[in-house]
Structure 1
Amino acid sequence: MASTKDTVNNEQADVYRPTLPTSLNSEATLSVPSVIPPEHDHRTLVLCFDGTGDQFDADNSNIVQLVSLLKKNDRNKQMVYYQSGIGTYTSSKAVAPWWSAFQKTLDEMVAWNLDSHVMGGYEFLMQNYIEGDKICIFGFSRGAYTARSLAGMLHKIGLLPADNLQQIPFAYKMYTRVDHIGWEQSNGFKKAFCSDVTIDFLGVWDTVDSVGIFPKRLPFTTSNGIVRVFRHAISLDERRSKFKTNLWNRPTDQEAQLGVQASSSQLAQPCMSPTTSLNEKEPSTPISPSLHSPSEKRSNTRSVRGGSEKSGGFRINEIRIGGSTHDKKLDTMEAMYSASARKKLEVPTDIEEVWFAGCHCDVGGGSVSNKTRHSLARIPLRWMVRECFKANTGIMFDSEGLREIGLDPATLYPFVTPRPRPHKIKPEHKVQKPPEVPIPVRLHATLSKKRPAGIHAHHAVHSSPFLGSEEAEELNDALSPAYDQLKLKKGWCILEILPLQLRYQRGNNEWVTRFGSNLARPRFIPKQITHGVKVHRSVKMRMDAEYEDERKKGKRYKPKAHLRVEPIWID
């Protein structure tokens, strides 16, 4: 198991060794402080952006669950900002009720009011940030894209001093401009009015690539030099066309070289034509009809870590092109602009993107009632919380809340200890089918309608409903039902025949764009041969179990996304 991460501090290495499962109600577990870590040498500003249409309700997302775990009663140590999902509200301008309803619907479909969501988070930081604070941002679905857009705005524009409310719309407009004048003006605006800030941790669940009627990528949403740690939990089984995943990417070799050598004077030069190579001595590489880099095409089958891959591509009804003019210009200017950020951080962003079983809401939460004890979404929630501790963010969590989601606080504080081996799958362990009528079995829901203040208030002290170990919780969660919206809500199928654009990065870091109907095809996992693919160990547990559904008798779970190499299993 690949459980030890580079983010674990050196002083923790001597205690990061195999351990045995511990009960979540053991004496060691219950002896930890009520808040962990109880102290740290800085204040943390935590911003949480919920998914499309998500807010506090009867089937909360992992964003709401995360907020419920955080210490919120001492603004001198930690401040928490929560924003309900895209499609739940519109801008604050006075409008007719019918127009407000129309805006909400449009916002939920294509993130029409993305600007309001990003500027809301920016205003919170502007009004509260003081030098020395750590900024941590989380998001799910289009809320994840909002989180990454906010991080991009902070990189390109910087952070305004407090009380400059009238300047925020102007700053956002400059952030979204990607022409030569826009980049030059944003650079000057940043120097004149703003301060540089860094983002300590950016954690997102299943970022989707559907923003805007005619979607265009905003600056620094696919890579960002001011982010210290980036963590991304991604769905293996989502198939909807409007929910294509938006992965973190690296600059091409040419962009990286340009970025290292770039200076503010270069930003004042006209942006080169998108059809011009960054190196004028070498012609632009023609677009290959293959999905793979040239190194991936040398043979029909290659073995990586014991796995094999057969060459092949997407199905019919598609056209591959070399990327839009907008994207090429944006890539070039981002590389130029990122040089100063890389020098400031001194180390590259610590990136980890891990794939999990289930569809979109099975990863980000919201597919089951709050009263349901076990669900697939609890696994990526626990993983994200553990990564916060591994990265030494200093985010303060409620210990009792951690027990409620199946985490042992004693394994997180004062040191992060490695995961014990997972439980073995036995013949009696079956992958469950969705219940026809949800059965409330969780004794103490993390949040409930009877406790509407739960998202803002500390947890009441009560005995944990979980009597087993985290590994026992993981086993039950890994075998929980998956909820495929294409099967549950047939209206989504209409969008599967519409032509769409998808942009992805090859193994050699070059960009390719394809255009065509999705037809409910699975997600494509790029760069598997050259970089491998990280998959959570709970996926292996699910793959080893048979379905309980009689219609699938004898069959086992197989991820919808094609795993072409042996995965790197992550704890």
Structure 2
Amino acid sequence: MATTLRGAHKRLIVCCDGTWMDSLGRKGAEPQSNVTRIFRVLRRTCQDGTHQIIMYHPGVGSSDSAVDKFTGGLFGVGLDQAIREVYNFICTNYVDGDDIILIGFSRGAFTARSVADMIATVGLLTPTGLDHFYAIFEDYENMEDSDRDPSVFLDPEVLPYNGEKGAARAKWEIDRKSQYERWLSKNDLTRHTYEDVNGVHEINIKAVGVWDTVGALGIPPAPVVGLQGTSNQ
């Protein structure tokens, strides 16, 4: 009898759809999106026994509300909420060693890329960190805003802006993010690593699969995942 190997971890997969798209093709009036098709063909258990927890997130403007359709379609209203929901799903379901895979189309691609960048910037929030989620999310969104009063950041020692320009400003942005992440880690609000019998490992994103990538009104300001860059590069 053939035996099935049982994986030591699970895989978290999030499928983020584009504007006006939902998993039923607008109540059956339109064909299913490619994101929906991917979501539905993914197995809940792989051949090696690894369990897969799969989340589908509908696109902005996909509700029955005419106002939501208009504001979501024209202005991308709801993207912040989508990013928060996907990020929260990963934080609350992740266990040491899990794989993280993000899939997205159009503004769903923006959501996927933004979540990946947030994980790279602030890590995965702990249960204590999630109690401060909105404050941390607001800090994350304004991390590169040189005009924002440093005193409003959750981190009381956030790196202030001293008029840096060009390459010096780019370095300031990177240093500020690193310093903020260290403060979160020191206060047990987030984690970037996990430890097992083989040592300490970084919490990495296995893959980001996106196409027709845009932001709310164009290309998102978030740096490409895996690169130490800034919105000015």
Residue aligning to 1:366 = none
1:52 matched to 2:34: no
Provide the residue aligned with 1:83 in structure 2.
57
Give the Cα–Cα distance (whole angstroms) in 2 for the partners of residues 70 and 39 of structure 1: 18
- 1:450-461 maps to which residues of 2 (within 5 A)? none
Alpha carbons of structure 1 residues 104 and 169: separation in structure 2 relative to 1, 3 Å: farther
Change (3 A) 1:52 1:216: closer
- Output the CA distance in 1 between the equivalents of 2:121 and 2:5: 34
Q: Does 1:219 pair with 2:222?
A: yes
Match of 2:38 in 1: 66
Contact 1:175-1:219 within 8 A present in 2 as well: no
- Tell me which residue corresponds to 2:90: 125
Query: Which residue of the partner structure matches residue 115 of structure 1?
Result: 80
Q: Contact 1:128 / 1:162 at 8 angstroms: preserved in 2?
A: no
1:157 Cα deviation from its structure 2 partner? 1.2
Task: Tell me the equivalent position of 1:202.
Answer: 208
Q: Which AA in structure 1 matches 2:221?
A: L
Cα deviation for residue 219 of structure 1 reads 2.8
In the TM superposition, what is the alpha-carbon distance from 1:172 to its structure 2 partner?
1.7
Distance 2:86 2:35 in 1: 15
Cα distance change of structure 1 residues 78 and 113 upon mapping to structure 2, 3 Å threshold = same
| Structure 1, unpaired ranges of 5+ | 1-36, 90-96, 226-249, 256-325, 332-571
Q: Which consecutive unaligned segments of at least 5 residues does structure 2 have?
A: 151-157, 159-175, 193-202
Q: What CA distance in whole angstroms lies between the structure 1 residues aligned with 2:108 and 2:139?
A: 21
Q: Residues 231-242 of structure 1: matches in 2 within 5 Å?
A: none
User: What residue identity is the alignment partner of 2:190?
Assistant: C
The Cα of 1:111 is off from its aligned counterpart by: 1.2
Whole-Å separation in 2 of the counterparts to 1:73 and 1:40: 10
Is contact 2:17-2:59 (8 Å) kept? yes
Which one is further off, 147-156 or 52-61?
52-61
CA contact (8 A) 1:51 1:143 kept: yes
1:163 positional shift: 6.9
SS of 2:132's equivalent in the other structure is helix
- Matches of 1:216 and 1:140, distance apart in 2: 13
Paired residues of 2:9 and 2:50 also in contact (CA < 8 A): no
Paired residue secondary structure (2:137): helix
Name the counterpart of 2:200: none
Deviation of 1:130 (Å):
0.7
Distance 1:84 1:141, change over 3 A: same
Aligned residue for 2:89, secondary structure, equals: helix
Alpha-carbon separation, structure 1, partners of 2:33 and 2:10? 26
Name the amino acid aligned to 2:9. H
For 2:120, give the aligned amino acid: H
TM normalised by structure 2 equals 0.67
Query: 1:39 deviation in Å?
Result: 5.2
Q: Cα gap change, 1:102/1:82 in structure 2, threshold over 3 Å: closer, same or farther?
A: same
Provide the residue aligned with 2:145 in structure 1. 179
Encode CA deviations 1:422-453: one digit per residue, 9 max, x unaligned.
xxxxxxxxxxxxxxxxxxxxxxxxxxxxxxxx
Deviations 1:290-323 (A, max 9, x none): xxxxxxxxxxxxxxxxxxxxxxxxxxxxxxxxxx
The answer to whether the 8 A contact 2:18-2:104 is kept is: yes
Deviations 1:205-258 (A, max 9, x none): 2212x414xx684333xx122xxxxxxxxxxxxxxxxxxxxxxxx77xxx7xxx
Aligned equivalent of 2:184: 190
Amino acid at match of 1:43: K
Q: Spell out the pairing of 1:387-536 with structure 2 (5 A cutoff).
A: none
Structure 1 residues 76 and 147, CA gap change in structure 2 (3 angstroms): same
| Partners of 1:117 and 1:201 in 2: CA distance | 19
For the 8 Å contact 1:47–1:136, the answer to whether it is kept is yes
Q: Is 1:155 matched up with 2:120?
A: yes
1:76 Cα offset (Å): 7.1
Decide whether aligned partners of structure 1 residues 41 and 145 sit closer, same or farther in structure 2, where only a CA change above 3 A counts. same
Q: Distance in 2 between matches of 1:109 and 1:179?
A: 25
Q: 1:103 to 1:128 in 2, by over 3 A?
A: same
Separation of aligned partners in 2, 1:327 and 1:136: 24
SS of the residue 2:210 aligns to: strand
What CA distance in whole angstroms lies between the structure 1 residues aligned with 2:131 and 2:141?
A: 17
The offset of 1:158, in angstroms, is 0.9
AA at the equivalent of 1:121: V
Report sequence identity in percent: 29
Deviation at 1:168, TM superposition (A): 2.2
2:212 and 2:6 map into 1 onto residues whose CA distance is 31
1:110 deviates by 2.1
- Judge conservation of contact 2:7–2:50 (CA < 8 Å) in 1: no
State the partner residue of 1:527: none
Structure-2 separation of matches of 1:134 and 1:126: 12
Tell me how far apart the structure 2 counterparts of residues 60 and 163 of structure 1 sit (CA, whole Å): 39
1:132 Cα deviation from its structure 2 partner: 0.6
Task: Work out the CA distance in 2 between the residues paired with 1:60 and 1:38.
Answer: 34
Asked if structure 1 preserves the Cα contact closer than 8 Å seen for 2:16 and 2:112, the reply is yes
Q: 1:167 to 1:47 in 2, by over 3 A?
A: same
Contact 1:45/1:133 (8 A) holds in 2: yes
Mapping of 1:274-423 within 5 angstroms? 327-328=231-232, 331=233
Aligned to 2:196: none
Change (3 A) 1:174 1:66: same
Give 2:103's aligned amino acid: F
Distance in 2 (alpha carbons) for counterparts of 1:63 and 1:216 = 20
Relative distance call for 1:65 and 1:39 in structure 2 (3 A) is farther
| 2:115 match: secondary structure | helix
CA positional deviation for 1:190: 3.4
Aligned residues: 183
Secondary structure of 1:51's aligned partner:
coil
Higher helix share: 2
Read off the aligned partner of 2:61 and give its amino acid letter.
G
- CA gap of 1:138–1:128, structure 2 versus 1, over 3 A, is same
- Note closer, same or farther for the CA distance 1:46–1:216 as it changes in structure 2 (3 Å cut): closer
Give RMSD over aligned pairs: 3.1
Residue 114 (structure 1) shift = 1.0
